[in-house]
Amino acid sequence: MPDTLLSDDDLRTLNDRFDAAHPREIVRWALAESGLREIALASAFQAEGTCVMHMATQIRPDVPVLFLDTGFHFGETLTFKR
């Protein structure tokens, strides 16, 4: 079993392809084009994470989200995650 899902050459190719890409393009590749079936988002529900969640659910509405509980969330955040 390989240590990584992609070879060094594949990673270099993807880095070149997405160097100046919009984040939505990168998320779309990961969720819809990469061939990875078991993929999830990890988020602490902060500003950046919610933007990525929004982009991802526009592409794949059923993408799982793993909640990163930092212990510093507002009550509203904890209510929202439920």
The model's pLDDT over 36-46, given as tens digits with 9 standing for 90+, comes to 889 999 999 88
Residue 71 has pLDDT above 60, yes or no: yes
What is the phi/psi pair of residue 47, to 5°? -55, -50
What pTM was estimated for this model as a whole?
0.78
Cα torsion angle, 21, 27, 28, 30, sign? positive
Q: What pLDDT, on a 0 to 100 scale, did the predictor assign at position 41?
A: 95
Query: What pLDDT score was predicted for residue 75?
Result: 83
Q: Where do the domains of the chain lie?
A: 8-81
Would the pLDDT of 81 be above 80? no
Q: Computed over its alpha carbons, how large is the radius of gyration of the chain?
A: 15
